[in-house]
Amino acid sequence: MIHFFIIFALISFLIILINNIFYLEDEKNYVPLKETPYLSSIVPARNEEQNIGDCLKGVLRQHYENLEVVVVDDESKDKTVDIVEKYVKSERKVKLIRVDSLPEGWMGKNYACYKGFKISKGEYLIFTDADTRFINTRTVEYAVSKMKEKGLQLLSLLPLIETKSFWERIFMPMWSFAFVSFFPLKLLSSKKYKKVAFAIGPFMMFERKFYERIGGHESVKGEIVDDVYLARETKEKGGKIALLDGKDFIKVRFYKNYKEMKRGTVKSAFGAFSYSYRNLFLFLTLFFIIFALPFINLVRGILIPSPSLLKISFLEISLIYLLKFISDSYNSHDLKYTLLFPLSLLTGVYFCLLSAKEAFFKKGYAWKERFYQIPGK
């Protein structure tokens, strides 16, 4: 019975993945804009001297004249401000504001986004991280066109995830894998499923009026995973959202090494499960049965030995690798590391458990020289 469940689940994920790929590929087509509504790109930055210059270059290269770039410095201690000030002097589109102190109850990034919004003038708002690169001069035009075509209030783009170190290549493809394999992305745009909502922080475009209606970042001021909670707020208030493929438009290297990746994932992982131990337990249990048990049974089949167990385990593992290979290939990840899927799996489980542990014992997470308490803890 358990083998039937595993095979059924894996085949279902394959169907979802293939349908998502067709959907995302079809959505790459867009109609060039005849009119360009005024747009504000808001970039929160804290100690981003290595990233902010390339981020601004990408935004300023856009074939979209009717925009402003609002950089919000969040008490940086490096050369972030110096770099941005050079752009302010040479580019009339760039504005810089500085956060002098963080009010109680706010996440640093959320407060920076809130402050940037307050001085922005755009009919549309793009919230983008400082480590996001606009790699296509039509990124903004594509996003605005899609907002209009699909009648969206929130559009998020899946970036090309850049990886360079061993552990990045082991773990980061799991993000793409989760986004495109486990849920029909087309249903995100359906107002019928109000509880189904998520977005990704490197690129979130809002219709300004609706952003104001849901209370903007102020409504999620203490949330660590602001992107997910903003998507939920949008959906619950009757807004329409979409998550589309942005590999041709933006790229992000989220973390530079294992230490950064561990810290960044740990601070966010448990929040994705609404800080619910029950939700996390159910997810990890299902994940173990579907993706880990076949490998354990393969070893058992060899040791017992059991030809029948070997055969069924081999079939299940073949489906797992087919699923992961298609996902990694579509998302432009290094396929050599696809073979190390069990290590990717263990890394993800370890980060999730560590995230839950810190929530239980510390009631919050350390990030960029600050400690953020989990809301309600």
Q: Is residue 171 part of a domain?
A: no
| Domains in the chain, number | 2
3-state DSSP call for residue 261?
A: helix
Tell me if 184 is assigned to some domain: no
Residues 237 and 112 in one domain: yes
Residue 192: inside a domain: no
Is residue 304 in some structural domain?
Answer: yes
Same domain, 238 and 283: no
**Taking a C-beta distance cutoff of 8 angstroms, is the pair 146, 155 a contact?**
yes
Please check whether residue 46 is in contact with residue 72, taking contact to mean a CB–CB distance below 8 angstroms. Answer: no
Residues 219 and 358 in one domain: no
Q: Rounded to whole angstroms, how far apart are CA atoms 337 and 285?
A: 24
Domain C-terminal end among 208, 230, 256: 256
Quick one: 155 and 45 in the same domain?
yes
Longest dimension (CA), the chain: 73
Answer yes or no: is 167 within a domain: no
Q: 284: which 2 tokens?
A: 């990890």
How confident is the model at residue 366, as a pLDDT? 87
Domain span including residue 292: 2-18+274-369
Look at residue 104 and tell me if it is in a domain. yes
Do the domain assignments include residue 320?
A: yes
- Contact between 203 and 250 under an 8 Å Cβ cutoff? The reply is yes
Residues with pLDDT less than 70, the chain:
376-377
- Looking at the fold, whether 134 and 250 belong to one and the same domain comes out as yes
Give per-residue pLDDT as tens, 135-175. 999 999 999 999 999 999 999 999 999 999 999 999 999 99
Asked if 301 and 364 sit in the same domain, the reply is: yes
Do 351 and 322 share a domain, yes or no? yes
Instruction: Specify the pLDDT at position 226.
Output: 92
CATH number of the domain to which 150 belongs: 3.90.550.10
Q: How far is the C-alpha of 9 from the C-alpha of 169, rounded, in Å?
A: 26
Reduce the secondary structure of 184-239 to three states and give it as a string: CHHHHHCCCCCCCCCCCCCCEEEEHHHHHHCCHHHHHCCCCCHHHHHHHHHHHCCC
- The upper half-sphere exposure of residue 76, i.e. CA atoms within 13 Å in the direction of its Cβ, equals 24
Given phi > 0 = left and psi -120 to 50 = alpha, else beta, which region is 32?
beta
Residues 235 and 147 in one domain: yes
Shared domain check, 252 and 281: no
**In sequence order, which residues have a C-beta less than 8 Å from that of residue 247 and are 6 or more positions away?**
158, 159, 160, 331, 332
Q: How far apart (Å, rounded) are the C-alpha atoms in residues 131 and 298?
A: 41
- Least Cα distance to 211 among 103, 125, 338, 115 occurs for 125
Residue that the structure tokens 């933006």 belong to = 250
Q: Distance between CA atoms of 277 and 363, rounded to whole angstroms? A: 13
137, 231: one domain: yes
Contact residues for 160 (Cβ-Cβ < 8 A; gap 6+)? 135, 246, 247, 248, 250, 251, 252, 331, 332
Both 304 and 155 in a single domain?
no
CB 67 within 8 A of CB 40: yes
> Which residue bears the tokens 């594509």?
142
Residue 9 forms part of a structural domain? yes
Model-level pTM? 0.92
Task: Assess whether 137 and 55 both reside in one domain.
Answer: yes
